[in-house]
Amino acid sequence: MHVLSIPTWIIHISSVIEWIAAIWLIWSYGEITQNRAWRGFSIAMLPALVSAMCACTWHYFDNPDRLEWLVTLQAAMTVLGNCTLCLAAWWIWRDRQVTKI
């Protein structure tokens, strides 16, 4: 675990915790407002969370070659997460346009 400094670990771990909190808060907002688009947005955030957890796991074990597949998984989850978040944002926008009419 010597690869990253303590301040860098604090940033990595707090970012994961903040992302989990954001997912939970957005899900709760969707439930309170009964808006499925917001709940969908929180689900769309999950691939990005998996990506962050892959990075933390790889660094925790000192970036070994045998776990290099985590780097590939992280990249794939980042791409997937960007796509799902884009679609979820569009869904919220579309839902807002429909409710205006």
Segment 25-66, tens digit of pLDDT: 999 999 999 999 999 999 999 999 999 999 999 999 999 999
> Is pLDDT at 88 greater than 70 in this prediction?
yes
Q: Is the pTM of this model over 0.95?
A: no
Total number of residues shown for the chain: 101
4 Rama sector, left if φ>0, alpha if ψ -120 to 50, beta otherwise: beta
> Is pLDDT at 101 greater than 70 in this prediction?
no
The beta strands (E) that lie in the chain are given as none
Domain ranges of the chain: 6-100
Confidence of residue 3 (pLDDT cuts 50, 70, 90): confident
